[in-house]
Amino acid sequence: MQNDYTFYKRVAVAAFVVLLVVAGFYLLLQVADFFLLVFAGILLAVLFCGLTDWVTHHVPVGRGLALLLVVVLVFGTVIFIFSLIAPTVADQADEMRRTIPNAINKVKDWLGGHNWGRKLVQEIPSDTEDLLPRPGTFLSRISSIFSSTLGVLADVILVIITALFFSVNPKLYTHGLVKLFPPRSRTRMLEVLEKCYATLKLWLLAMLLSMTIIGVSTAVSYTLLGLPLAIALAVLSFFLAFIPTIGAYGAAVPAVLVALTQDPKLALYVVVVYFAVQMVETYMITPIIFQKTVKLPPALLLFFQVLFSILLGGLGLLMAAPILAVGLVLIRELYIKDVLEKADGVADQSEPVSAKIRARRGG
Note the pLDDT tens digit of each residue in 39-87: 999 999 999 998 998 888 888 888 889 899 999 998 888 888 777 766 6
20/14 Cα distance (integer angstroms): 10
- Exposed e or buried b per residue across 195-233, where buried means at least 16 C-beta atoms within 10 angstroms of its C-beta: ebbebbbbbbbbbebbbebbbebbbebbeebebbbbebb
Q: CA triplet 145, 205, 81: central angle to 5 degrees?
A: 65
Residue 46's nearest CA partner among 302, 38, 146, 235 is: 38
What is the pLDDT confidence band of residue 291, given thresholds at 50, 70 and 90?
Answer: low
φ/ψ region of 133 (left if φ > 0, alpha if ψ in -120 to 50, else beta) reads beta
Res 272 pLDDT > 70: yes
- Cβ 204 vs Cβ 290: under 8 Å: no
89: left (phi over 0), alpha (psi -120 to 50) or beta: alpha
Q: Are 146 and 313 in contact (CB under 8 A)?
A: yes
Give CA 157 to chain center in angstroms: 19
Max CA distance (Å), the chain: 85
Q: What is the pLDDT of residue 144?
A: 47
Q: Are 187 and 179 in contact (CB under 8 A)?
A: no
| Residue 119 pLDDT class (50, 70, 90 cuts) | low
Rounded distance, CA 148 to CA 157, Å? 14
What's the pLDDT band for 5 if we cut at 50, 70, 90?
low
Q: Can you give the pLDDT at residue 147?
A: 43
| Cα dihedral 280, 283, 284, 288 sign | positive
The pLDDT of residue 215 is above 80: yes
Question: Which segment of 44-48, 111-115, 122-126 scores lowest on mean pLDDT?
Answer: 122-126
3-state secondary structure of 327: helix
Instruction: Indicate the residue type of 21.
Output: V
- CB-CB neighbours of 150 under 10 Å: 10
Task: Name every residue whose Cβ is closer than 8 Å to that of residue 287 and which is 6 or more positions away in sequence.
Answer: none
Least confident of 151-160, 163-172, 196-205, 327-336: 151-160
**Residue 41 CB: number of other CB atoms within 10 A?**
20
Yes or no: say if 43 and 325 are a contact pair by the CB < 8 Å rule: no
Query: Which residue has better confidence, 74 or 110?
Result: 74
C-alpha torsion angle, residues 37, 42, 45, 51 (rounded to 10):
-130
Sorted by where each begins, the domain ranges of the chain are 1-30, 31-344
CA distance 290 to 202: 8
Q: What is the CA radius of gyration of the chain?
A: 26
Whole-angstrom distance, CA of residue 323 vs CA of residue 316: 9
Angle formed by the axes of helices 63-112 and 32-58, nearest 10°: 130
Give whole-number Cα distances, 339 to 143, 175, 303, 335, 348, in Å.
43, 23, 26, 5, 12
Reported as a pLDDT band with limits 50, 70 and 90, residue 88 is: low
Contact 231, 220 (CB under 8 A): no
